[in-house]
Amino acid sequence: MTSAPGSTDERRDRLADPRTARYLVWALYAVCAGLLLIDPLVHKHGPFAIEHWIGFYGIYGFVVSIGLVLVAKAMRRILMRPENYYDR
């Protein structure tokens, strides 16, 4: 199906366009950098020392997210079964 320029279909296609995704990723890099830059200006009240390290929350979030996905991926080797596993 081809869509006329400016039509609703074209606008919707743009939402799912790989280029849109690329712009979003660049925006994400910018936001992350910005958050790291303002981090020293934010006064933290928590009792734990590591919370006061610059960028702790960002680095922690990044590391645990990568870890979570890689560990889960490894878990597939043990846990994954065909969809009809219980029906056989």
Partner 1 sequence: MTVEVSPGLILILGALVVPLLRGIARSVFMLALPVVAFLYLLWLPNGAYGGLSIFDLDLTTIRVDGLSRMFGYVFLIAAFLGVVFALHLKDTVQHVAGLFYPGAAVAAIFAGDLVTLFVFWELTAMASVFLIWASRNENAIKTGIRYLVIHVGSGVLLLAGAAIHYQATGSIAFEHIGLGTTAGALILAAFGIKAAFPFVHGWVPEAYPTSTVTGAVIMSAFTTKLAIYALARGYAGTDLLIPIGAAMAVFPLFYAVIENDLRRVLAYGLVGQLGFMVVGIGIGTELALNGAVAHAFCSVLYTVLLFMSMGAVLYRTGTAKASDLGGLVRSMPLTAGFGIVGAASISAFPLFSGFVSKAMIISAALGEDYFWTWLVLLFASAGAFLQIGLKVPYTAFFGRDSGIRCEEAPPNMLAAMGLASVLCIGIGVLPMTFYELLPYPGDYAPYTLEHVVTQLQLLMFSALAFAVLLRRGLYPVSLKSMNLDFEWVYRRAAPTVALAGWDIAVALRRWALGAMFKPLSAFLTGIYRHHGPDGILARTWPTGLMALWTTLLLAAWLVIYYVQ
Q: What is the DSSP letter of 48?
A: -
By the 10 Å C-beta count (0-12 exposed, 13-18 middle, 19+ buried), 8 is classed as: exposed
The answer to whether 28 contacts partner 1 (rule: CB under 8 A) is: yes
Min dist. Cβ of residue 30 to partner 1 (A): 10
**Is residue 13 involved in binding partner 1 (CB under 8 A)?**
yes
Residue 47, judged by CB atoms within 10 A of its CB (0-12, 13-18, 19+), counts as exposed
Binding residues (CB under 8 A) for partner 1: these are 9, 12-13, 15-16, 21, 25, 28-29, 31-32, 35-36, 38-39, 42-48, 51, 55, 57-62, 64-66, 68-73, 75-76, 78-83, 85-87
